[in-house]
Amino acid sequence: MRTWIKTPLAIFADDAAGGVVTEDGRIVELLPDGRLPTAPVDETFDASRHVVLPGLVNAHHHFYQTLTRAHPAAINKDLFPWLKALYPIWARLKPAHLKIAAKLALTELMLSGCTTAADHHYLYPKGLENAVDIEVEAAREIGMRVTITRGSMNLSEKDGGLPPDSVVQSADEILADSERVLKLFHDPKPGAEIRVALAPCSPFSIDKPLMIETAKLAERHDCQLHTHLCETADEERFCLEVYGVRPVDLLEETGWMSKRTWLAHGIHFNDQEIARLGKAGVGVGHCAASNMVLASGICRTCELERAGSPVGLGVDGSASNDSSNMMEALRHALMIGRLRYGAASITHLDVLRWGTEGSARCLGRDDVGKIEVGRQADLALFRLDEPRFSGAHDALAALVLCGAHRADRVMIGGRWRVIDSAPVGLDLEKLIADHSDAARHFA
């Protein structure tokens, strides 16, 4: 199937005013203004009313948290009290809840223009041992590319950690299951639909030997490593008290300072730590909305990028965002970045780059995240005919500044997955009804 996305209103790509040609799931031609495809096409899509972006890439999420959005037990709290309020509620999570939560989160992301998503699942109460299998099944049903990170927690309250005993596993259980899901699902090849990464949750819920063994396992299976790091000042104090070092030193001591690693948040780094992270190529998934909701601080995106770290964007879990909208994540990154760096230092082009190619680099991918010949045909198309865009002059800037939040069309691997702002082949009303039902279990 050869498709021509013809003469878009605007496109986030170089020299492609004539559009994009896709074939067999990949981008095969970018057409400069006035140029026609070099060979006949099977389908021509008139994009003259659409702004075309590479499919957005979400660098951090916790799908299960869609079941506990705006929860009265947790709203209006900082990270540690917020977590302590939610852990016992999350401990009720059963396989059927996770499945419907993952499907809802993926659909919500896709409708916002997202085509590849990372999920960090670290919660393993009894009965939920096959969490990764469940998320992979949901991603296949929805048709999105994913990196499911096999999260883990082995340091509970009885050992001085933050989570209760009911949601953690032993290091042996964690490592055995990590190896199992890597063998079963991880596809390192270009164009992969499913990848697995390994993701001990945070310094206050894992121990050092688990970090070390996880890094070795990632090396053996050629997968990425992910964790929460330097999210709050509380975490820094915890590391100094328990490990006697700062969080970045913990990363260094456990073999995590490499291109395999991307971190969620990455707020409380000093200058010297930023230089070390940049030199090692450690990526940072900036989650602006969550950082504002939990009052955690502002990620030093510009310094990190200058130092050499890939910078991506994530929505973070839906209990601290509380939405899974990637376009909103771009807008929030622009707004909060300007508070730190001033109006000229972060533009719509920066956040568009972070939310696409930057996030893809965090996930270790160079086959998605950019409209370029040879990359996967993952595209998000937006129309500007809502009242919020009326009167806008720069179409690309308008997507971010006027607050685009719903794509008109989404293509993943050359196939239309969203048409007229609706997911193809999916009963959205039923999905929402089933998900709302499941959420009642967590009241």
Rule CB under 5 A: which residues touch Zn ion?
264, 316
Least distance to Zn ion, CB of residue 287, Å: 7
- How far is CA 427 from each of CA 97, 127, 176, rounded to the nearest angstrom? 18, 28, 37
Nearer to Zn ion, 123 or 412 (CB): 123
Nearer to Zn ion, 211 or 264 (CB): 264
- How far is CA 349 from each of CA 281, 353, 394, 396, rounded to the nearest angstrom? 22, 6, 12, 8
Nearer to Zn ion, 213 or 316 (CB): 316
Least distance to Zn ion, CB of residue 289, Å: 11
**Max alpha carbon distance in the chain (Å)?**
68
Taking the C-alpha atoms of residue 45 and residue 415, their distance in angstroms, rounded to an integer, is 13
Least distance to Zn ion, CB of residue 285, Å: 9
Least distance to Zn ion, CB of residue 414, Å: 31
Nearer to Zn ion, 52 or 333 (CB): 333
Q: SS in 3 state form for 2-62?
A: EEEEECCCEECCCCCCCEEEEECCEEEEEECCCCCCCCCCCEEEECCCEEEEECEEECCCC
Enclosing H/E stretch for 139:
helix 131-142
Nearer to Zn ion, 197 or 380 (CB): 197
Enumerate residues 6+ apart whose C-beta is below 8 A from 304.
266, 269, 274, 277, 278, 284, 311
Nearer to Zn ion, 289 or 304 (CB): 289
Enumerate residues 6+ apart whose C-beta is below 8 A from 98.
63, 64, 121, 128, 131, 134, 135
Least distance to Zn ion, CB of residue 61, Å: 8
Query: 422-429: long-range contacts at Cβ-Cβ below 8 A with a sequence spacing of 24 or more?
Result: 423/107, 423/110, 423/111, 423/142, 426/107, 426/142, 428/107
Least distance to Zn ion, CB of residue 156, Å: 18
Q: Are 147 and 224 in contact (CB under 8 A)?
A: yes
Least distance to Zn ion, CB of residue 358, Å: 17
Nearer to Zn ion, 83 or 142 (CB): 83
Nearer to Zn ion, 278 or 317 (CB): 317
b/e burial code for range 182-212 (CB count within 10 A of at least 16 → b): beebbeeeebbbbbbbbbbbbbbbbbeebbe
Taking the C-alpha atoms of residue 175 and residue 291, their distance in angstroms, rounded to an integer, is 30
Q: Are 361 and 312 in contact (CB under 8 A)?
A: yes
Nearer to Zn ion, 10 or 86 (CB): 86
Least distance to Zn ion, CB of residue 65, Å: 9
Least distance to Zn ion, CB of residue 60, Å: 6
